[in-house]
Amino acid sequence: MAQIIPVQVFDAVVFGATGDLTLRKLMPSLYSRFRDGQMPRESRVIAAARTETTTDAYRAKVMQGLHDHIAASDFDEAIATQFCACVQYTMLDGVTGEGWEGLVKLLAAEPERIRVFYLATAPDLYGPICRNLDANHLVTAASRVVLEKPIGHDLASARAINDEVGHIFEESQIYRIDHFLGKETVQNLMALRFANAIFERLWNADVIDHVQITVAETVGVEGRAGYYDKAGALRDMVQNHLLQLLCLLAMEPPVSLDPDAVRDEKLKVLRGLRPISVHEIATHTVRGQYVHGVSEGKPVPGYASELGHASQTETFVALKAEVRAWRWAGVPFYLRTGKRLPQKVSEVVVQFRAVPLSIFPPGASELEANKLVIRLQPDEGMLLKLMSKDPGPGGLRLRPARLDISFQKAFNTRYPEAYERLLMDAVRGNPTLFMRRDEVEAAWQWIEPIIHAWADATEAPRPYAAGSWGPTAAIALIERDGRTWHEDWGEED
């Protein structure tokens, strides 16, 4: 059983408190930490938004959100009531500065507490909110500000946001959140590589053929159409989630787990990504957009139909990336993400090289190269595919076998959601799992030429049927290198 270490008493001020992220993720995460005793009961959650409502009415919305988004086995009505008593609501306008008197009064009651300002708003509000925090003298030495992704829509806007927020907060107080980094299995990448000599000594181009990173969703854009049509899959998923996974896979061992030591190594990976030139866009990138099809057994409309108009926004991206480092020379990283795909799955596949020479007779079966599959969701775990002798008499026959670890079964415990861990890390002042400014900007520097090349191209995103694994061009992207996408966690062969 993992030891629960309580954090210090804190005030969490959530801007955008009536939004989907707050009610679906943040409040349930804080409730879970409250229930497990990690969030002290004297702590407060101060919800701030422009909506005119009362604290009692807002608490009722929070309670309903807990009912809707927490598993029945994890929900306790009495504890939920106690948690809601920690929640207070204040109406204010983050841009104009109107109505801030209520927040000032609430925070003045506990001036020495840790303050976590969580900006669950559109990125263009980050600067104005931070300026109003400063104007009302609410930023203390014990304050942190948490910024949701995306940080901007390109390099220039990311720099502008970082400049605005950085004018008010020190870099050590800024926590740029990527919830993928809070997932248990993502953190296990560090343990897998740096706590096991058997893997780290094999983690190089001599032994690894290629790496695949897939983040697939079965849903469409749902209620995020307005945001998504301006962003697209490249900005929404690749620039942050997938590149952060690539960093953890490709980084060199840090000298320690000191936050900046870890982030320094990730930054080296981002700066070591070989730029994709205009002439390579056709062979190294694929963008697609789903059309009508069948998803989870039901007919679903295409992206343009959901929007109500035609669009050039991509809902699918596949990329071939290369890291300019001796460790990874000649090892491609294939990245893939999309909506309306057949399975909701996030996984990393490390494909090892085949044995150089088979000593087994022709009838023993064809040798398959070893493969390590790291499942981030939905069933967190790891699978190692090996060749093994088929049991029984009658000669030597080989077949693939699997070493399969489900974290849920292996450790028989509930894993905290990513936001639970990251929120508590922000309270503790531990930025290891958050992105530093130079990381964000280095990621945009690599992504931006692709954005520009796609914008200049006359070709529209390639259509793919909802419920499929994307455009056929994505298959060609990897198969022209003699490789194949991994698409079945439950495969038996």
Distances (CA, A) of 86 to 9, 33, 52, 208, 388: 12, 13, 20, 51, 56
Closest CA to 425 of 101, 66, 127, 38: 38
How would DSSP label each residue in 155-215?
HHHHHHHHHHHHHHS-GGGEEEE-GGGGSHHHHHHHHHHHS-HHHHTT-STTTEEEEEEEE
Neighbours of 268 (CB within 10 A): 16
Q: Check: CB of residue 340 under 8 Å from CB of residue 219.
A: yes
Q: What angle do CA 156, 158, 160 make, to 5 degrees?
A: 70
- Tokens, residue 379: 């069933």
Amino acid of residue 232 = G
Strands 143-148 and 174-177: parallel
- Active-site residue numbers? 241
CA-CA-CA-CA dihedral for 215, 221, 223, 228, to nearest 10: 90
State the Cα–Cα distance between residues 278 and 106, nearest whole angstrom.
54
Q: What DSSP character marks residue 113?
A: S
